[in-house]
Structure formats: C-alpha cells, structure tokens
Chains A and B, each alone.
Chain A
Amino acid sequence: MKGNIVRRSILDGITVTVLGLVLISIVVDPTTEQLMNLKFNSFLFLALMVFGAMLSHLLNSIFGIKTLGQNLFEPDYEKAKAEAKPIYRTFWGWHFIVTLIVLFVVGLSKTQFSIIELLDEDGFEGAKRLFAGIFNPNWGVLPAAVLNIIETIFMAFLATMLAIPFAFILSFMAAKNIMRGPVSFGVYLFIRTFLNVTRSVEALVWAIIFSVWVGIGPFAGMLALMIHSIASLTKQYSEMVETVYEGPIEGVQSCGANKLQTIWFAIVPQVILPYISFTVYRWDINVRMATIIGLVGGGGIGTMLIKYQGQAMWPEVGTIIVVIAAVVWIMDQASAYIREALK
C-alpha cells in the first residue's frame, strides 16, 4: 500500500476514534472500573480505528469527499488538481475544526483547568510570599551557588568534549550517501535506530539511571549528558554529511583514494565548520540541561536548587535563579557570536 494512504488512514482513523471515544464517554459515563479495563478499551480503540480508516476510504474513494488525512498527505500532483475553495466550504476543513474543538475541550477537562483555583485568595497569598522571597535574594549563598554553577558548566563541557570523538566517527556511519551497498546500509539502519532510541530517552532519565550506577553527583550528570550529546550530535553531524557536494568526492575518488581517504579529504573539509558550530551550540544546550539534571541528583547547581526548594527557603532559591539566569544568558550570547563568526 502506498505510504500516503497508510498515513491518511491512520490520521483519519485517530480523529474518528477520538470523536467516538468522547461521544461514548458522554453517553455511557463510565465508572472507574470500566476505565481501567485495558483489554476491552484497547479493543474498542482498535475497532474505532478500523471503522475510521474504512470510513475515510469510503469518503475518499467512493464519494470523492476529501478528508483531513487525504488533504494533508496526498501527493503534490493530486494537490495541484484540487480547486481552491474557502476552508469552511470543504469537508476536511470542518473535519479539522471539529477535531480541534473536541481536543481543546478534552484538554480543559483533563488538566482540571479552573479559574476559581487561579483566583483563590489563599493560594495567591502563597505565591506572593514565594515571589517576595525570590525577589529578595539571600546573597549569603552566592559563593556556594557560584561554585556549584562552575561544576555545572564543567559537567556540560566535559560531556560535550567526550561526545565529540564518538559522534564524529558515528556520523559518517549514519549518513546515507556514504553507507551504500547492502552491508553498509545494514550498519546505517542499525546505527540510526540505535541513535533514535537513545535520543528518545530523555537526558533526565539517563541521569536517573547513572545516579543508580555511579552514585548521585556530577559524574552521573555528566555521563547522562554525554550519552544524550552523542546521539544528538551524531544526528546533526550526519545530516551535514548528507548534504555535501558530490564533486570533490568524485575528484578524490578518481585519483584512486580509498574510502577513509575520500572521507578525510573530500567530506571532512566540507563539514568541519558546521561541526564546530553544532558542538558549541550543544555545549550551550548542555549547560541548560545540566541544571535540570541536577534536580534528579546529577550534581551541580540543580542539586543545590532542589535542596533549598525542598525547605521552602525562597530567598536562597532566588539567588540560585539569578546565577543560573546570568550564566545561561552569557552562554547563549557567546555561543551565538561564535556560531555567527564560523559561518
């Protein structure tokens, strides 16, 4: 089956499923026990998906009515054929609007959105106390905060440095234009999949894993950032490799160079500046991430922040926030200037 039809069926199926499930919950008003019945609900979900996909097929193929999925995923040459109509006079337009409104209402209900809570006097007083504390920082903890943020910066720095060699080598193995041939393509697919899985696990989760492995502290945080940086840098690097000009590659190959020589002489000179630029940006991102990772025991300023926050010592928290904000702002500016100069 064609890719665009699969995508259309899934999208239309999901929209029908969401509408169907919302309708059923309104009519039946299920008990908690019914909601927790995973088997029956999965069956219901799948049944609605199939129904939705069939309905979508019926509308598109038999009645010639364009659904949202068809309009979004149909190939360009089909899009070119469609006559231009205002969105409110199309089926897919109303399909989209109704889905969006239903999702919005479900969102309000799921997040227990409440104007009353927001305007509650007691709660508001509490927030005022917190802000009063934060805006009157206790500068007594400044030396400790500075020492801790230095730890955080070096966590990020070392994580970036250690990630570079891994990412550099992996990036060529994760580039489609280099990994031609059946064996190479297999390696390419394996590395791509491995990196995607690694990247989809948040650095925060890696920090939790490593804090069990090597104990709570900056080493665990650094390892977490390194793993995440390897995966992210490899992806960015390999995308650069995939956009290099073929000309120099042909030129070097025509001289009888082997694969390693071709990469080193024809590809590396083309990607080295973007590589440096991505790496500087990654360090900048890592400093920000290192702060968050500290919250789960990754060491540095984050760990200090969570300690004072736990004791509701808002003036101390205020100092720490000021230090974090200053460093993040400086890193952000510095990395922007460096990247600009590297263009």
Chain B
Amino acid sequence: MSEPVLKIRNLIKTYPNGVQALKGVSFDVKKGEFLVVIGLSGSGKSTLLRCINRLHDPTSGEIVFNGVDAAKLQTTSEVRSLRKRIGMIFQHFNLIPRHTVLGNVLVGKLAYTSTWKSLFGLFSEGDKADALKYLKLVGISEKAHIRADQLSGGQQQRVAIARALTQNPEVLLADEPVASLDPATCHVVMDYLRKVNQELGITIICNLHFLSLVRIYATRVIALKGGELVYEGDPKNIDQAWFEKIYGEGAKEVHIN
C-alpha cells in the first residue's frame, strides 16, 4: 500500500492564453488508493488529470510514473505507451455515438492492435472476450450490440469504464464522472468505480464536486484552489473550517443521497 505509483512534483501548467491552471502542485498517489481531487470549477482539477496522461502538456515539473518522468516524454509513441497504462473516463463519457457498445469498449485495445488491423476492425478473439468480460463487470453485457447513443447517461459512463478497463490500466483517471448524471445514477457509477478499485486493485484518481460522495468513496483527498494544493488528508477530517477554505466563505454544502 505504501509504494507510490505516481509522484507529482512542482507541476506547473500555463495555457497559451496566459492562464496559469496549476501553480506548482506536488503530491504522491499510493498504489491501490481511491484518491479524490476536490475544488471549485476552474481550480485546475481537470488540467491536473489531463497532464498525467498527457492529453495536455505540462509546462514544467515532474510526473514520475513507474520510475519514468511522464512530463518529459517527447515522442508520440512514448506518450501513447504511457496512455496505454492509464485509463480515463470523462464527464461527458466521450464515447463514439454511432458505434456499438462492444465497438466502443474495443477502442481500449487500439494501443495493443496494429493500425491496419484496427482500421478494418480486426480485433482478436481474446480482445473481444476481454471487452465482454469488462462489460459484464459493469453489468451491461446484454447491451453489447446496441449503438452507444441509445443508452442512458449512467449506462454510457459504465461503457466508458469498461473501455478504460479493457486497456488493462494500472491507474484510472476519472474527470467529474458523475457531474452530468442524476443523484441515483451517481451512486451506481461510483459503486462500480469502487468495485474496480477494490476487486481489480486499480488505483483511481477521481475529480468530484460533491463532498457527500467524497466521504463515502474516497480513501484519501486532495483539494485544489486556484491551481494550488490546499489540503491533503483523510476525507473524514474535512470539517467546516476546511470546507470554507476550499470553497470560499459562506459556501454551503449540498448533500446528495
């Protein structure tokens, strides 16, 4: 449990328009933990996750993943092999609407498949079996041959989880995974993430808005404010004083059940 899977040191990200989204963030991610990142919109949470798998390029700092500094990777093939081991799910699911559920999940195998085979859709039987296994894990295997845009939001997010799992990742990044879902579906999706964390032992780094969800699911919490780390610790220790420090004075906690 103690071995850090990710070591992030002094991470800075400045966008071309001059906005400084991350102002030197440092923290460790331990193997097998469910780390939740909280903070207001615009506090740099999404930027942080996207720097880890290099969807955004960090301006400076280190992101040490398995002994290699991911922030220094130059060639696209190096970046691709980094992404191969880090899955990601998104607020708006980011599935391919016109493809089937199974087709979407097989996208997780693209990094393992040669370009020509993948363009003709020639995935191996083993890959398909893998995809179906993970669809079963998120309880949606009966929808495998339906088009992804026919599913509800919660179902689409579960397909996205299966897609990320098909990559066989060590770390799963989740960017506001339940922000566009209704409260009931919220818990279903979060429960599947916890299952992935506990049963498969995959480390999860998850951005969340709702503190009530944080208390239920997180094993550890970090908080960002204006691109800086302002809190790191146990979710149970977030009291009213911390809450006001993170979200600003006069903010009230919203509960969802």
Contacts and interface: CB of A to CB of B under 8 A. Distances in A.
Interface of A: 247-248, 250-261, 264-266, 269-270, 272
B53 A254 contact: yes
B96 A255 contact: no
A256 B95 contact: no
A254 B76 CA distance: 13
Interface string B65-100: 000000000001100111110111010111111110
B83 A254 contact: yes
Contacts of A247: 90, 92-94
Chain A interface SS verdict (over half): helix
B79 to A, nearest CB: 8
Nearest to B49: A254
B163 to A, nearest CB: 7
B55 A256 contact: no
13 contacts: A250-B90, A251-B107, A253-B83, A254-B55, A254-B83, A256-B167, A258-B76, A261-B115, A264-B118, A264-B119, A266-B96, A269-B96, A272-B98
A250 B94 contact: yes
Contacts of A269: 96-99
Contacts, number: 84
Interface of B: 53, 55, 76-77, 80-84, 86-88, 90, 92-99, 107-108, 110-111, 115, 118-119, 160, 163-164, 167, 173
Contacts of B76: 258-259
**Most chain A C-beta atoms within 10 Å of own C-beta, residue among B82, B96, B163:** B96
Nearest to B112: A256
B96 A256 contact: no
Contact of A258 (B80, B86, B90, B167): B80
Nearest to B108: A255
B91 to A, nearest CB: 9
Nearest to B111: A256
The 7 closest A-B pairs by CB, nearest first: A251-B94, A256-B111, A256-B84, A256-B83, A254-B88, A257-B110, A247-B94
A83 to B, nearest CB: 33
Given A265-B96, A269-B96, A269-B98, A255 B90 contact: no
Contacts of B96: 248, 251-252, 265-266, 269
A257 B80 contact: yes
Nearest to A259: B76
Contacts of A270: 97-98
Nearest to B86: A254
Contacts of B160: 251
A260 B95 CA distance: 17
Contact of B110 (A248, A252, A272): A252
Given A256-B80, A260-B115, A248 B167 contact: no
Nearest to B98: A269
A172 to B, nearest CB: 14
Given A252-B96, A255-B167, 6 more contacts: A247-B90, A251-B96, A255-B110, A256-B82, A256-B84, A261-B118
A256 B81 contact: yes
Contacts of A258: 76-77, 80, 110, 115
B107 A252 contact: yes
A76 to B, nearest CB: 19
B110 A261 contact: yes
A266 B94 CA distance: 9
Contacts of B99: 265, 269
A323 B223 CA distance: 74
A270 B93 CA distance: 16
Contacts of B80: 256-258
Contacts of A260: 115, 119
A255 B123 CA distance: 15
B55 A255 contact: no
